[in-house]
Structure formats: C-alpha cells, structure tokens
Structure 1
C-alpha cells in the first residue's frame, strides 16, 4: 500500500474542527479554577496541625496521582450515575474529573511553594499578633503563588493536552470533531494531524503567555 494522503478534501471541515477549541478551552478553564480552589484547600490541610486532615489530603493526592485520568473520567461519567441514580452530562463529567485530578497536582505545587516562603515571614506575622487565616491569605499565599506560577502554568498546559481524552465520552472537542470528520471520509490520518496542529498551537500560545507573565513578575520583584 502506498502513501495516499489528501489534506485538501478536509479543508472545508477545518472550521468545524476549530470550533472544538472553545469546548476544550471552556473545560480546561473551569477545571483549572476548580483544581486551583480545591488545591489551595488541600495544600493548607497538608501543612496543618490536624493529623487526620493531613492524612486525608495526602490520601486524596495519592489516589488521583496514582490512577489514570481516563479511569477517573469514566468513573465520574459511568460509575457515579450508577451509584447516584442521576445522569451526569459529558461536559460536566469532564470538568469534575479534570478538576479533581488537577487539584491533586496543584496541591503539591502550592504546598511546596508555601514551605519555600521564608519562615521569618510567618514568625514576623505571629509577632505582630496576626492570626493564622489572615496571615496565610494576605502574606504567605500571595508570595507562594508568585513563586509557583511557572509550575502552575505547566500544569494547565498539561491539562489542555490531556483534555483530548474527553472524546471517549463523546464531548465534541477538537479530537472528537476530527474523529467525526475522519469517519465521514473514511480517512483519519489527515484530520488527526489537523487536530494535532491545533493542539500544538494552543500549547505554544499558553507557553508564550506563561513566559511573558513570568518575565513581568520578575521585573516587579
């Protein structure tokens, strides 16, 4: 069999595939916000003084980092409805699974960032009579977030790439649309390459934005 590729037949379908960008970005954006919010809570539990909460936060992180994301997605989409008796839309299942998974990684990033903040900051706050919550919110967390921004950007870039697995539950993202187009033409290589180019360009844009933000924060030091 010879190599017989024809990208031109897929040119009319490119706008349809590109429309999947907004589905992908919306899933990633909502999941990233969920992951960041829950990740902050988990990181505070991990460095807290309540042993059982530390153990639960560590167990949560271990489970979500130690199992495949696609498995977590399928449990949310197929397993939870079986247990709860309520259907979960594919889009919502993707947001939940990605958010919960991302929070496990984000919690470790934030924990490391908090522990990297000079201990003198905490001691000075305590000497001034500042209680734990406002100290973390106004002094420690802002410094930690500034230091860990590159790592957070890398996590969100990874999340953008991994979002392609939502195709297994039928979400009409970039990958799913490329598969649909390929099925109509009985040729999958070309639309999948087109999808790959779109993902690559998205990741490059996010990478450049992350570097620009990092440079700006360095200038503000």
Structure 2
C-alpha cells in the first residue's frame, strides 16, 4: 500500500477505490463483512499516510469475484486480496510499483449510448501505450462500464463494445500487441456514482484501462 499512498500524494487530483475480496471459506454474509473490514483497514492506512479520506471509497466484494480457483490453498491465497484502483491517470511515466496486486486505471468516458472512443482521450491512451511499450512484462485489462440503461442486456452489450473498442484503439493507433490486452464488460453492475443525476451517469459511462504488474 506504500506505492498507492505515494501515487495519491504525487497526483492530488486522483481518487482511489479500495476493493476487498475473500476466498470462499465461510458464508456469504461473513465474507462480505470480512472483505469490507479489509478495505476499511487499507483506507485507514492511507489516511495515516496523510491522504484525505474524501478521495478514497471502499467496496466489499466478498467471494463474488475470485482471481483464482478456490480449490487449492494457493488459489485461496490469491483470492484473499485487496485491489486498489486509482482513476484518471494522466502521467504514468516514472512510476515504480512493487510486484503486488495494485492496479492503476486510466479513465476513458463515453457519451450516452455511445461506444466511440473520442479523440479527447488520444493523448491519455498514448501515455498508457507508451508505458506498455516501456514495460514489456506489464499487461492491460480493459474494463467496460455503462450507466443505468433500461435493459441489463443492453448495458452489458455496450460495456463490452466499449472495452473492445479501446483495445482496438491501442492496437491500431499505437501498435500494442493484442496478446497483452484483454477486454471485459461489466454492464451497469460496478457504478462509481449514483445514476440519478446526469453527472453521475457520465461517471459510470466509462472504460478503465488497468495495468497489471507481474508477481
């Protein structure tokens, strides 16, 4: 968590989402509570590093999003984790991270019902592409998200197309090897703001480019 604290200090306009995860030992309610306590502990650590708590939100995922199998002890260890996502990265050059499950996400937003990657984000995507070129062991997972559309299926479709289009953009514009990129849509299941005001909907219409560091 030292790297996350250092990054938040370096980029005071960024915000972080702390996700707590567990293995499948115990019942659903217990694991949700446990994952929340894990996320809250990280929040308190970052506050102790002089990071304003208003910049940090926590999410309990319980056992719902395993990173590995729960059939082995090694897999369970992988699933007992914290993911830290820091959004709106504008400059990743020179960032040094330990080999840990810390993710840094560059934010790309979309117009309502649109899957087009706007030219406004070309410069930010170029920085992400340059970082991938400079760090050949790093891969990227592109996560697509949607606001509160009428249909869950429609939201899922749009989120998948947004993620796929960002992958295509990185490949076609910056010659990033497609094998280093993966795409996934989450529909409207992972909102970062309320969908009632238009501002909140805009924040939820997004793609996060998550840089994954080797263990």
Same fold (TM over 0.5): no
If the length of structure 2 is used for normalisation, what is the TM-score? 0.25
Task: Pick the structure with greater CA Rg.
Answer: 1
Q: Which has the higher contact order (CA 8 A, sep 6+)?
A: 1
Structure holding more strand per residue = 2
